[in-house]
């Protein structure tokens, strides 16, 4: 079984997967052998099965610097949320009695108002009053809701970035023959040139100039195959002001000059016929 982290957290927040006992990891005394120390605040939530560690029942909160000894004898599935300084890390892990299996893993940046920081501080204070279970469950639920908001924001941001990238790509495909530059394309979409570069590297995994040149070269290949135009004219029709630069770039990408590419193409057609 594989888990969708966002859906899982939504079920916990809504009560479809109810939260039970909230326990707190120890921060007192020497760390025993085999203990797991938490460098950052962490939540461990039991989703299925049970953990035979006396420190864990349904939810374990580990403040930064705390530790716990987990002795898993029975199969179980747990969700772990690590609250780092710059990002949150989510993982769902299954213990089948012999091996660990990672069922889901995801990260999201911490940004905006640090609501989560205040909720974590409240849990730190509740560690001194573990009997206040109703309050602890409310705080944990609020913390999970905050995680859901961050994940939802990440999905919306990714969707918007993809839509903008697709629109820019269509614009380049339609205007490749024009004098396009990083600045002119960025201005057409009311974004900064730096953000345009970031968008291409992050969303398209390719640089802006690399994509522009690739588009122009593909059209140049089509003209070389279908029309008896001079190489200089093909370069200009594809947006290259300098035909010498076009020839160098074409050879770099195809290991042939434009003229050699055309001759080879027509030679292959003649052989087939």
How do residues 227-258 score in pLDDT, each as one tens digit? 889 999 999 999 999 999 999 999 999 999 99
Give tens-digit pLDDT for 61-96: 988 887 776 655 678 888 999 998 888 889 988 888
Is the pTM higher than 0.95? The answer reads no
Contacts 24+ apart (CB under 8 A), 110-119: 110/83, 110/84, 110/85, 110/86, 110/150, 111/150, 111/153, 112/153, 115/146, 116/83, 116/88, 116/143, 116/146, 116/147, 119/143, 119/146
Least confident of 8-22, 173-187, 221-235: 8-22
Q: What does the block give as tokens for 190? A: 């009311």
Query: pLDDT per residue over 86-136, tens digit each?
Result: 888 899 888 887 888 888 888 887 765 567 888 999 998 998 888 999 999
Q: What is the mean pLDDT of the chain?
A: 84
Fold type of domain 177-273: Arc Repressor Mutant, subunit A (1.10.10)
**Residue 155, pLDDT score:** 65
Backbone phi, then psi, for 242, in 5-degree steps? -110, 110
23 - beta bridge partners? Answer: 60
Burial class of 211 by CB neighbour count within 10 A (0 to 12, 13 to 18, 19+): middle
- Rounded distance, CA 143 to CA 240, Å? 55
Question: 227 vs 224, 234, 271, 273, CA distance in Å?
Answer: 6, 9, 19, 19
Q: Could you tell me the residue ranges of all domains in the chain?
A: 5-155, 177-273
Residue 118 phi, psi dihedral angles, 5° rounding = -70, -40
The residue behind tokens 């193409």 is 265
Q: How far apart are CA 100 and CA 170, in angstroms?
A: 45
pLDDT of residue 111: 67
What is the pLDDT at residue 53?
A: 42
- Write the CB contacts of 31 (distance below 8 Å, at least 6 apart in sequence): 37, 67
Distance CA 103, CA 93 (A): 6
Q: Go through 17-46 and write b for each residue having 16 or more CB atoms within 10 A of its CB, e for each that does not.
A: bebeebbbbbeeeeeeeeeeebeebbbbbb
The single-letter DSSP state of residue 68 is E
For 199, the 3-state DSSP assignment is helix
Query: Are 231 and 259 in contact, with CB atoms under 8 Å apart?
Result: yes
């Amino acid at each position: 079984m594989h888990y969708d982290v966002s859906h899982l957290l939504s079920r916990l927040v809504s009560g479809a997967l109810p939260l039970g006992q909230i326990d707190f990891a120890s921060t007192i005394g020497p760390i025993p052998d085999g203990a797991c120390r938490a460098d950052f605040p962490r939540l461990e939530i039991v989703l299925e099965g049970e953990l035979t560690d006396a420190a864990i029942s349904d939810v374990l909160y580990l403040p930064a610097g705390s530790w716990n000894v987990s002795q898993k004898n029975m199969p179980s599935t747990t969700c772990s949320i690590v609250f780092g300084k710059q990002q949150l890390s989510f993982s769902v892990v299954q213990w089948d009695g012999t091996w660990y299996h990672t069922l889901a893993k995801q990260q999201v940046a911490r940004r905006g108002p640090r609501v989560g920081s205040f909720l974590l501080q409240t849990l730190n204070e509740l560690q001194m009053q573990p009997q206040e279970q109703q309050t602890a469950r409310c705080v944990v639920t609020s913390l999970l809701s905050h995680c859901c908001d961050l994940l939802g924001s990440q999905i919306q941001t990714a969707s918007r970035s993809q839509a903008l990238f697709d629109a820019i790509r269509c614009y380049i495909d339609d205007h490749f023959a024009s004098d396009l530059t990083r600045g002119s394309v960025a201005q057409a979409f009311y974004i900064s040139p730096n953000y345009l570069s970031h968008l291409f590297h992050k969303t398209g995994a390719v640089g802006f100039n690399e994509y522009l040149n690739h588009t122009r070269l593909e059209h140049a290949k089509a003209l070389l195959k279908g029309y008896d135009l001079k190489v200089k004219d093909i370069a200009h029709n594809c947006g290259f002001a300098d035909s010498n630069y076009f020839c160098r770039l074409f050879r770099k990408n195809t290991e042939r000059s434009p003229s050699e590419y055309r001759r080879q193409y027509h030679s292959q057609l003649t052989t087939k016929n």
